[in-house]
Amino acid sequence: MAKQKIAVYFQPETIKKIEQEYHEDNCSSKTEFIEKAVKFYIGYLSQREEVNYLSPMITETVKSQIKGTEQRLARLIFKVAVELGKLSHMTAALNDVDDETLKSLHAMCVTEVRKINGIIDYENAVAYQQD
């Protein structure tokens, strides 16, 4: 396809920049440089429209993934709480623990959970109790 000639007007400082940069961009002429610049800008505008279209879709997808994860975690935490409740009631039924021992046990467990960052290891608890 043959090129078409059009009249284009630039500010003097823009013309100076074109003259300085077109060789740096490996262009054989100022016309080639300007055409590349225009194509680049058109691509930029098209991409910006795509980003405006895709961004809300990506946001909604991430939100739904997070919500699903929250729901799964909530169900798992509920199941763990039920199991912990059962263990607590069985332990209380089998042992006669006074209030002072219960308070010190609570304080010890809070300190231990902070120390181990919430990762409870049954084997470590057994070893502690046997010491």
pTM exceeds 0.75, yes or no: no
Residue 52 shares a structural domain with residue 102: no
Residue 34 clears pLDDT 70, i.e. is over it:
yes
Which domain covers residue 37, as residue numbers?
Answer: 12-95
Residue 46 clears pLDDT 90, i.e. is over it:
no
Residue type, 76: L
Could you give the number of structural domains in the chain? 2
Residue 130 clears pLDDT 70, i.e. is over it:
yes
Measured in whole angstroms, the distance separating CA 37 from the mean position of its chain's CA atoms is: 35
Mean pLDDT along residues 102-113: 86
Domain assignment of residue 5, yes or no: no
Residue 90 shares a structural domain with residue 104: no
118 backbone φψ class: left, alpha, beta (φ>0; ψ -120 to 50): left
Residue 50 shares a structural domain with residue 80: yes
Give ∠ CA 43-12-32 in degrees, rounded to 5.
40
Q: What is the pLDDT of residues 15-31, one digit of tens each?
A: 999 999 998 888 899 99
Alpha-carbon gap, residue 71 to 36, rounded angstroms: 51
Residue 115 clears pLDDT 90, i.e. is over it:
no
Identify which of 17, 43, 48 has the alpha carbon closest to the alpha carbon of residue 30. 17
Intra-chain end-to-end CA distance of the chain, in Å: 89
- Under DSSP, is residue 27 helix (H, G, I), strand (E, B) or coil? coil
Domain assignment of residue 1, yes or no: no
Alpha-carbon gap, residue 27 to 10, rounded angstroms: 19
Percent of the chain at pLDDT exceeding 70: 96
Residue 70 shares a structural domain with residue 22: yes
Residue 71 shares a structural domain with residue 58: yes
* Mean model confidence pLDDT for the chain: 86
Alpha-carbon gap, residue 42 to 39, rounded angstroms: 5
Binning pLDDT at 50, 70 and 90, where does residue 53 land? Answer: low
Residue 30 shares a structural domain with residue 47: yes
Residue type, 12: P
Q: What is the pLDDT of residues 67-105, one digit of tens each?
A: 889 999 999 999 999 998 898 888 888 888 888 988 988
